[in-house]
Chains A and B, each alone.
Chain A
């Protein structure tokens, strides 16, 4: 991590690149002959956070907690039910199709499934050049040149220009997915589980590629994942989501070493211990299923599964507030009775992925063609 980046991350008085305020995304549930709306699935229910230039905000949570829905409504693939998304000073949550297309050149997404998210009919070169030509950024000849450059940047080479997506491996496809997002030189990239569909060995390569690109192009990421390893490796700050709400939002080291929310603690506990000697310890097991987002529990949405829940949790909705009023660096938590103890687990164990500068082209050669 560069010195400038640490400065950015800590200087909260800086203007955020993206500000999400009370974002809600509710899907209507329709029943009956005339499709009457009988309720709503609250996929995202009042989420607020800011992302500062050059940082990576991780969003972690179980399947169905609304993290991908949040990501999709930020880049407006879904129109949020309410709330605002302020990107670079403009509220884009209600922007029309025309202004949205302009914003899309600065706000990009890397998708989860590299197999399904590339059009099987288009050659790699064509699908990469397409956004440039559609946004009239440059001529066809220049676009071709840019495609070659970007392929080299993501660790592929210009031989891939004439290939079809099905001729590539999963890791190579995800590199194309990343290259696609980079084509328009965006300021912010939302990475929606970019490594979940990949082999563990390829995951590390793609994560390193994302890190290197962030340094080279000064990118800002929102990194959505259910994998704690990946999110810990790449994020500066982490938001923990549960049932459409943020439970805890704090710097990565705080989340892993001093979780304040009981849900964060349970989530960390569920993470498999790589060191077999430490496996004997008693684990806290999270009980029950995630309640339906169509009918979330009253008060704190986590109270039905929280081992520390009390009467107050059933009635009053906790707000996302500073963990330590004196130390803003500790982050925020939405809990009436936040924990105040070090993590029961040591996360100082060797990192799953070696950090540092990686040559993208060298890692790509190790991948099956």
Chain B
């Protein structure tokens, strides 16, 4: 197992390097420049050139990339042009809220999807089954921004149960309860799509497993229904579900960007939008690197989890 993980990490390094090259080129080729931020319509071409020179933007792209890479090796992601603080410090402040939001969404999504998936798998082609499958299509189809606005309107504006946005009450006493209250709505928005997708995976995986010969064997042993479902069926049905978690993580990242914007959740997602608008190159590079690293780690963990869940999978 350990040699396998080391090999995977070694393979991961060139992949991540490739990701940084592609991102660097795309970001720098995109129209606009961070220099625009500092300039006014009355700036002369001379001033523009000077600003570009100050920011190092007049150098060829490959020189800038090598410089960026050189800094990276020393653990330095450069300075945010917008916020005037080191990118590492900026990301460090923003990553925890995003991880909290993603983690909470994942837990809620699975806590809903797995029991419902099992429930409808055992009642295939009944009204309950059609109802849940129909709802799941609705959940997958509804866009994050729309669902987010509806939730804010209903639960924050009309009912006043939850705040409309932000991580915590600004200037308030803070505390855990306050933070959890702020977490509920964005979590529900993110969890909806993941859960709606997952419930269909759980359902079909369970239906598959419930029809397997070894379930018939378990029944012939004289085991009860609960024992058969939880011990024999669920454990086998989990194997394909584990694979989906890795895919879900990238969906979550994308969803987090939109959701954080709607709820003004001060995480990586909100930072991404701000950095794109300000052409904040070094911040964008930092975010992309973290996102790529996140997906890489998630996939590695998925493969490791695969080996834990299924005794037939062995890594050497």
Chain A interface (Cβ within 8 Å of chain B)?
75, 77, 97, 100-102, 104-105, 108-109, 111, 113, 116-122, 130-131, 134-135, 164, 166, 177, 180, 184
Q: A134-B227, A164-B311, A164-B312 in contact; A120/B214 too (CB < 8 A)?
A: yes
- Identify which of A104, A111, A131 contacts B213 (C-beta below 8 A): A111
B222 contacts A119, CB within 8 Å? no
Chain A residues near B310: list those with CB within 8 A: 120-121
CB of B53, distance to nearest CB on chain A (Å) = 65
A104 contacts B222, CB within 8 Å? yes
Chain A residues near B212: list those with CB within 8 A: 116
Complex-state Cα separation, A164 to B225, whole angstroms: 24
B205-227 interface with A by 8 A CB criterion: 212-214, 216-225, 227
Complex-state Cα separation, A164 to B310, whole angstroms: 11
Q: A130-B223, A166-B312 in contact; A121/B236 too (CB < 8 A)?
A: yes
CB of B85, distance to nearest CB on chain A (Å) = 51
Number of interface residues of B (CB under 8 A): 20
Chain A residues near B52: list those with CB within 8 A: none
B216 contacts A101, CB within 8 Å? no
Complex-state Cα separation, A145 to B17, whole angstroms: 57
Complex-state Cα separation, A104 to B236, whole angstroms: 24
Chain A residues near B218: list those with CB within 8 A: 119, 130
Question: Counting chain A CB atoms within 10 Å of each CB, which of B213, B221, B232, B235 scores highest?
Answer: B221
B214 contacts A101, CB within 8 Å? no
Complex-state Cα separation, A181 to B236, whole angstroms: 22
Chain B interface (Cβ within 8 Å of chain A)?
212-214, 216-225, 227, 232, 235-236, 310-312
| 29 A-B interface contacts by CB (under 8 A) | A77-B216, A77-B220, A97-B225, A100-B222, A102-B222, A104-B220, A108-B220, A111-B216, A111-B217, A111-B220, A113-B213, A116-B214, A117-B214, A117-B216, A118-B214, A118-B217, A119-B218, A120-B310, A121-B311, A130-B218, A131-B222, A131-B223, A134-B223, A134-B227, A135-B222, A164-B311, A166-B311, A166-B312, A180-B217
A134 contacts B214, CB within 8 Å? no
Chain B residues near A109: list those with CB within 8 A: 220
Nearest-neighbor residue (CB-CB) of A100 within chain B: B222
Given A122-B232, A135-B222, A180-B217; 11 other pairs, CB 8 A cutoff: A75-B220, A77-B220, A102-B222, A120-B214, A121-B232, A121-B236, A130-B221, A131-B221, A134-B224, A164-B312, A184-B221
Q: A116-B212, A164-B311, A166-B312 in contact; A121/B220 too (CB < 8 A)?
A: no
Chain B residues near A105: list those with CB within 8 A: 222
Question: Counting chain A CB atoms within 10 Å of each CB, which of B235, B236, B311, B312 scores highest?
Answer: B311
A119 contacts B312, CB within 8 Å? no
Complex-state Cα separation, A100 to B216, whole angstroms: 14
Chain A residues near B225: list those with CB within 8 A: 97
Complex-state Cα separation, A118 to B312, whole angstroms: 13
Complex-state Cα separation, A119 to B312, whole angstroms: 11
Question: Counting chain B CB atoms within 10 Å of each CB, which of A100, A121, A134, A166 scores highest?
Answer: A121
